[in-house]
């Protein structure tokens, strides 16, 4: 039984990493040891689960079907072991989180040191991801995402207040180009576009006017998928940026950026910690949930 569990764990990590070397680094063993463990599992079940080439590792058709059932089962096994640690009164193990850049900056970075100090036996594995990776398929315990982006089958814990978007530009830009009075005036301005990482599409700027919500496809010479690049470009006078107001609060206070069209930018739900509703709340995840709740209070 122990050999099977070892082999199944190794198989899951190899399938996730698509590499024996990367899996070996996570398991803290040699690549040959991982390969031998998975091969022994394949021999015991009598089916080839991995397709190996000199350059890559992938799942066979049988391996794909097997992994689809194995992942939730192994999550249950790990949760069962971790529940014993709850009896002992201590969260242990690795807590894997999928977090956007802004969530990391506003939520995780400020609590990282005190949280790790409070739970010395806990490890954190944080993936910074501005896409919409499935935390279930990615093997994450939880994620952070804007409230409007959450799937309905997730348990969500609010961890910030409402947010507001802001249209900002440098004083030098407005001195030359003038100030837009209505969102439709943005069509005559240079705007810094944001490209969605997962879909590859350009984000349309969203506004509300007298109870009517609408979006505008702006144009400009700069397109990026990074919030910090947009802010720096706006600060340098290249164009207008559409970003959350708390990400530029210091620049607005120092008057390095000026905000316009505030009346058309309404609040929306902020960031939430979320995890699958069917998942048992493990001691390590409960520790983070309780820590964030206490901090928000």
Same domain for 252 and 171, yes or no, is: yes
Residue 80 inside a domain? The answer is no
Residue 84 inside a domain? The answer is no
Instruction: Tell me which range, 25-39, 86-100, 212-226, is most confidently predicted by mean pLDDT.
Output: 212-226
Residue 79 inside a domain? The answer is no
Q: What does pLDDT average to over the chain? A: 87
Same domain for 170 and 260, yes or no, is: yes
Beta strands in the chain (DSSP E): 50-52, 57-59, 93-99, 122-128, 142-146, 154-158, 165-169, 193-194, 205-209, 212-216, 223-224, 241-244, 258-260, 271-276
**Residues of the chain above pLDDT 70, percent:** 93
Determine the structural domain holding residue 43 and report its residue range.
Answer: 2-69
Residue 61 inside a domain? The answer is yes
Question: What mean pLDDT do residues 177-205 have?
Answer: 91
Same domain for 104 and 153, yes or no, is: yes
67 pLDDT higher than 60 = yes
**Residues of the chain above pLDDT 90, percent:** 39
Q: Who's near 225: CB < 8 A, 6+ residues apart?
A: 130, 194, 195, 196, 197
Same domain for 169 and 260, yes or no, is: yes
Same domain for 258 and 279, yes or no, is: no
Q: Is 121 helix (H, G, I), strand (E, B) or coil?
A: coil
> How many domains, the chain?
3
Same domain for 169 and 211, yes or no, is: yes
Q: Who's near 42: CB < 8 A, 6+ residues apart?
A: 48, 49, 50
Instruction: Tell me which range, 28-42, 44-58, 89-103, 184-198, is most confidently predicted by mean pLDDT.
Output: 184-198
- Any idea what the CATH number is for the domain that residue 106 is in? 3.40.190.10
75 pLDDT higher than 80 = no
Tally Cβ neighbours within 10 Å of residue 272.
23
pLDDT at 93: 83
Residue 83 inside a domain? The answer is no
Residue 113 inside a domain? The answer is yes
Same domain for 156 and 230, yes or no, is: no
Same domain for 176 and 258, yes or no, is: yes
Same domain for 146 and 279, yes or no, is: yes
Pick 78 or 216 by higher pLDDT. 216
Residue 24 inside a domain? The answer is yes
Res. 201 pLDDT band, cuts 50 70 90:
confident
1 pLDDT higher than 50 = no
pLDDT at 12: 85
pLDDT in tens, 83-121: 665 555 578 888 999 998 888 888 888 999 999 999 998
Instruction: Tell me which range, 75-84, 127-136, 162-171, is most confidently predicted by mean pLDDT.
Output: 162-171
Same domain for 151 and 175, yes or no, is: no
pLDDT at 92: 82
- Any idea what the CATH number is for the domain that residue 183 is in? 3.40.190.290
Same domain for 107 and 156, yes or no, is: yes
Residue 193 inside a domain? The answer is yes
Q: Are 41 and 49 in contact (CB under 8 A)?
A: yes
Domain end: 18, 37, 69, which one? 69
- Token digits for 145? 């995402």
Res. 153 pLDDT band, cuts 50 70 90:
confident
Same domain for 169 and 255, yes or no, is: yes
- Any idea what the CATH number is for the domain that residue 17 is in? 1.10.10.10
């Amino acid at each position: 039984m122990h050999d099977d569990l070892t082999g199944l764990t190794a198989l899951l990590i190899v399938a996730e990493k698509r590499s024996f070397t990367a899996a070996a680094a996570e398991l803290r063993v040699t690549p040959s040891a991982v390969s031998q463990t998975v091969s022994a599992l394949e021999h015991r079940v009598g089916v080839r689960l991995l397709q190996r080439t000199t350059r890559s590792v992938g799942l066979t058709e049988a391996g794909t079907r097997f992994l689809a059932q194995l992942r939730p089962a192994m999550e249950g096994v790990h949760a069962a072991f971790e529940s014993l640690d709850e009896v002992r009164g201590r969260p242990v193990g690795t807590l894997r989180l999928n977090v956007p850049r802004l969530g990391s900056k506003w939520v995780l970075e400020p609590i990282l040191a005190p949280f790790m100090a409070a739970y010395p036996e806990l490890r954190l594995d944080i993936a910074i991801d501005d896409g919409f990776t499935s935390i279930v398929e990615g093997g994450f315990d939880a994620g952070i995402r804007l409230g409007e982006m959450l799937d309905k089958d997730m348990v969500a814990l609010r961890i910030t207040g409402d947010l507001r978007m802001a249209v900002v530009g440098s004083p030098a830009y407005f001195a030359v180009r003038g100030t837009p009075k209505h969102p439709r005036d943005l069509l005559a301005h240079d705007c810094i576009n944001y490209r969605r990482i997962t879909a590859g599409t350009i984000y349309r700027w969203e506004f509300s006017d007298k109870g009517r919500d609408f979006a505008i496809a702006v144009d400009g010479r700069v397109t990026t998928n990074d919030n910090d690049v947009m802010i720096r470009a706006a600060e340098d006078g290249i164009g207008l940026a559409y970003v959350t107001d708390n990400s530029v609060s210091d620049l607005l206070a120092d008057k390095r950026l000026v905000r316009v069209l505030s009346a058309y930018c309404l609040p929306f739900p902020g960031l939430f910690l979320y995890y699958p509703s069917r998942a048992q709340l493990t001691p390590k995840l409960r520790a983070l949930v309780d820590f964030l709740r206490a901090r928000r209070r």
